[in-house]
């Protein structure tokens, strides 16, 4: 796929991996729409990107809000060829701790945002993409989702996060098969420890220690590296139904 002039939507696009992806897409000539719960931050980034970049406030768990945002993006851009879904949250709690069993509500919330929210964006974006005119190979678009290496190497206290991201990994292949007849590709990126707002609150020595755990390069991943892979997936027509670990060969220890 040629990204120059392509209509692209980034969910969770106002910060972190999503913001880096929006910038990378725009740098390649894509016309970018941002979907984020933080509407003000999304609008600020849209102004930075310039051109016909737009911002749409929406919670990925809301059917009506995501539907409205995708519809507005589709109308503004004329079509959606690329959708990158980056919205997500984390939560740390053991199954049974000193105070008893883990609370159920945080687990439900993490799964609702990370897995159900991802599927909500996937299904509505795919429906919009299905209306596109096919390219020479019959392609109508590509959807890139975000998992985590926690899907494979979940650590102590990561039951909710790992389960939600494992669900995204398991969603990838059947979704790609479902959408193959519509010419829509689906892939997922499973990043390792990346320098995102989620880690920004940690002390610098703690962040450095996390980086040293990575075999090579021994540092935290950069959001631009995630963005570069998301763009490559869009550009490489043979990538479909695959989850790609982006982790510097890191395999997480139990703690």
pLDDT per residue over 148-177, tens digit each? 999 999 999 999 999 999 999 999 999 999
Largest CA distance in the chain: 60
Over the stretch 113-138, which tens digit does the pLDDT of each residue have?
999 999 999 999 999 999 999 999 99
Which pLDDT does position 255 carry in this prediction?
A: 86
Taking residues 69-85, report their average pLDDT: 93
Strand pairing report for 31-36 and 54-57: parallel
Asked if pLDDT for residue 208 goes beyond 90, the answer is no
Looking at residues 79-84, what average pLDDT do you find? 96
Beta strands in 139-215 (DSSP E): 141-146, 184-191
Mean residue pLDDT of the chain comes to 95
Q: Which residues contact 127 (CB under 8 A, 6 or more apart)?
A: none
104 Cα distance to chain centroid: 25
Whether the model pTM is above 0.85? yes
pLDDT value at 62 more than 90: yes
Assess contact for 179 and 123: CB atoms under 8 A. no
pLDDT at 14 over 90: yes
User: In the prediction, which pLDDT does 75 show?
Assistant: 86
E strands in the chain: 7-11, 31-36, 54-57, 82-85, 96-97, 100-101, 141-146, 184-191, 243-246
Q: Which fold has domain 7-246?
A: Rossmann fold (3.40.50)
Pick the more confident residue, 224 or 204. Answer: 224
The yes-or-no verdict on residue 34 having pLDDT over 80 is: yes
Half-sphere exposure of 122 (CA within 13 A, CB side): 25
**What confidence category does residue 204 fall into, taking pLDDT thresholds of 50, 70 and 90?**
confident
**All structural domains of the chain with their residue ranges:** 7-246
Q: What is the mean pLDDT of residues 234-251?
A: 97
pLDDT given for residue 213 in this prediction: 93
- Which pLDDT belongs to residue 206? 77
Which residues does the annotation mark as catalytic?
161
């Amino acid at each position: 796929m040629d990204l120059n002039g392509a209509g692209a939507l980034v969910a969770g696009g106002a910060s972190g991996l999503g913001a880096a992806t929006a910038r990378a897409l725009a740098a390649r000539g894509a016309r970018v729409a941002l979907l984020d719960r933080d509407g003000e931050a999304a609008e600020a980034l849209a102004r930075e990107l310039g051109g016909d970049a737009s911002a749409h406030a929406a919670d990925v768990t809301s059917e009506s809000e995501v539907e409205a945002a995708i519809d507005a993006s589709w109308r503004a851009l004329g079509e959606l060829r690329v959708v990158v879904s980056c919205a997500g949250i984390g939560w740390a709690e053991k199954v049974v701790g000193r105070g008893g069993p883990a609370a159920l509500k945080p687990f439900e919330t993490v799964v609702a945002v990370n897995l159900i929210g991802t599927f909500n964006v996937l299904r509505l974006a795919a429906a919009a993409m299905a209306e596109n005119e096919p390219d020479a190979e019959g392609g109508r678009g590509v959807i890139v989702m975000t998992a985590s290496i926690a899907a494979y190497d979940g650590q102590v206290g990561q039951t909710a996060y790992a389960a939600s991201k494992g669900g995204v990994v398991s969603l990838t292949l059947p979704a790609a098969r479902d959408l193959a007849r519509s010419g829509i590709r689906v892939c997922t990126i499973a990043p390792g420890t990346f320098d995102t707002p989620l880690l920004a609150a940690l002390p610098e020595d703690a962040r450095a220690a996390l980086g040293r755990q990575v075999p090579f390069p021994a540092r935290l991943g950069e959001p631009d590296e995630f963005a570069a892979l998301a763009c490559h997936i869009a550009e490489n027509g043979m990538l479909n139904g695959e989850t790609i670990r982006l982790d510097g060969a890191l395999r997480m220890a139990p703690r």
